[in-house]
Amino acid sequence: MDNEKPKLISMDSLLIRYSPFAKKDGENFTKKGLYNWRKNRSYPEPVITTPRLVWRIADVEAWEIEQGYDFL
């Protein structure tokens, strides 16, 4: 039986991960930008929503590959 827990990533980590998409160099991506991706670009929904948003890394990486963002 495989008891390996899914690897998770927080909103804060995602905002850093997506800093190449920020409006200005040296800044992080924004929460609003991530929300818009969820609303308009089929970005995966978080698996935990309280007390903070957390995503399954496998879901995030699959979406990135679909978008052609495999360089992240």
Model confidence pLDDT, tens digit, residues 2-13: 567 779 999 999
As a whole number of angstroms, the distance between CA 34 and CA 4 comes to 28
Residue type present at position 59: D
Determine the pLDDT at residue 64: 97
**pLDDT tens across 26-52, in order?**
999 999 999 999 999 999 999 999 999
Q: Measuring CA to CA, which residue among 50, 71, 53 is closest to residue 61?
A: 71
For residue 63, pLDDT over 80 is answered with yes
Give the residue extent of every domain in the chain.
8-67
